[in-house]
Structure 1
Amino acid sequence: MSDTGGDGQALLRVKEVGATSVVCPMVTPTNYTVWSLHMKVVLRIHKAWTVIDQGTDWNNENDYLAMGLLYQEIPESLIMQIGDVESSKAIWDAIKAQHIGVDQVKEAHLQTLSFEFYWLRMNESETINSFSRKLFGISSKSATLGCVIDESKLVKKFLKSLP
């Protein structure tokens, strides 16, 4: 592309397009939030986010591009669950519904464990080993769900719960 400078000579403006590689993460049962943020960026890079974010003009070519990018990065089992959808927006919503539901179940389990931890008390007939197994069992389940209970909190709970 060339422009003419003030002295009549041609000025060249060169737009270099290098080989760019965008790596997309695979969605898993535990990485939806990070995956969705990453995919939004990738879809925007490829000018395909407009078909998921309906606030902009819809373009069928972009929809197919977005669908192709999404299908590359979801496991076959999820593709089979989604079925033969007609738009990338439908794929996105199906993935979101599946993974947000998992997050809600996880949060419910954490609330239940928190309730158990709060109300846990050692019975007079219970051994210290038995009680400590219950206490650390709750702690272990909570850590598995992503919420680590501080050691100091466990020690305080243990001491306050003794008969």
Structure 2
Amino acid sequence: METETSFSHVASPIFDGDNYQAWVVRMTVHLEALDLWEAIEEDYDVPPLPANPTMTQLKNHKERKTKKSKAKAYLFSAVSSTIFTRIMNLESAKDIWDYLKKEYQGNERTKNMKVLNLIREFEMLKMKETETIKDYSDKLLGIVNKVRLLGKDFSDERIVQKILVTLPEKYESKISSLEESKDLSSISLAELVNALQAQEQRRMIRKEESMEGALQAKA
């Protein structure tokens, strides 16, 4: 109970109409941690109490009724004001959950179109000269994670290949070095990014040292 109480202070992930797949995963875990998922999954009825209820019956009745109300309240707090106006008249937490699923998850055809658009975006992306390895890899992973959330496989190997063929010319020496020391067809994404970041950092250090030397020479 103490854990549940402390977790209740964790803010619900807010859904504003975008990235439904990511929100629904986070919200499901959030509700499970609060022991409220049953109220959404089953939408059970809470029967009236008998004439002379026992303490156990009173407790169970209150708990089950409270869970339904809490689940609804958490869903209300987990959407933007625009979406709230569309769900505020729905009766139960399950009604709200089902409405959002129907409205934003889309059918298989819609999901496939989203996947195609994301893959097109992935394929067209190239690293800019001023961009860091971290920024570029994060951008690629952001697209890939959206594809995966839509239920489609997307291997890390494909991301590795994408990075290798779209890096600016200044990274060619590092790629050549990696080719000599490793099998690039089996290198992990983390290993590649770390190696490229290390070179990036060394280049930055040399640049700073060069600038300091130039300033000292002028002085």
Shorter-normalised TM range? 0.5 to 0.7
What SS does the corresponding residue of 1:146 show, helix, strand or coil?
helix
Residue 84 of structure 1 corresponds to 89
Q: Which runs of 5+ in 2 are unaligned?
A: 47-63, 126-139, 145-158, 167-219
The offset of 1:109, in angstroms, is: 4.9
The reply to whether residue 105 of structure 1 matches residue 110 of structure 2 is: yes
Counterpart AA for 1:139: M
Report 1:64-75 matches (<5 A): 64-75=69-80
Residue 62 of structure 1 corresponds to 67
Moved over 6 A (4+): 151-154
Q: Which runs of 5+ in 1 are unaligned?
A: 1-15, 118-135, 155-163
Counterpart AA for 2:22: V
The reply to whether residue 24 of structure 1 matches residue 36 of structure 2 is: no
The reply to whether residue 40 of structure 1 matches residue 40 of structure 2 is: no
- Whichever structure has more helix as a proportion of its residues is 2
Residue 50 of structure 1 contacts residue 57 of structure 1 at CA under 8 Å; is this kept in 2?
no
Residue 36 of structure 2 contacts residue 71 of structure 2 at CA under 8 Å; is this kept in 1?
yes
RMSD value, Cα: 4.1
Residue 143 of structure 2 corresponds to 146
What SS does the corresponding residue of 2:68 show, helix, strand or coil?
helix
The offset of 1:90, in angstroms, is: 0.5
Residue 125 of structure 1 corresponds to none
What SS does the corresponding residue of 2:41 show, helix, strand or coil?
coil
Greater RCO (CA < 8 Å, at least 6 residues apart) = 2
TM-score by length of 2: 0.41
CA–CA separation in structure 2 for the residues paired with 1:104 and 1:44: 30
Report 1:104-143 matches (<5 A): 105=110, 107-111=112-116, 139=124
What SS does the corresponding residue of 1:91 show, helix, strand or coil?
helix
TM-score by length of 1: 0.52
Residue 12 of structure 2 contacts residue 30 of structure 2 at CA under 8 Å; is this kept in 1?
yes
CA–CA separation in structure 2 for the residues paired with 1:55 and 1:71: 16
CA–CA separation in structure 2 for the residues paired with 1:86 and 1:35: 22
Greater mean alpha carbon deviation, residues 16-25 or residues 80-89: 16-25
Residue 15 of structure 2 contacts residue 79 of structure 2 at CA under 8 Å; is this kept in 1?
yes
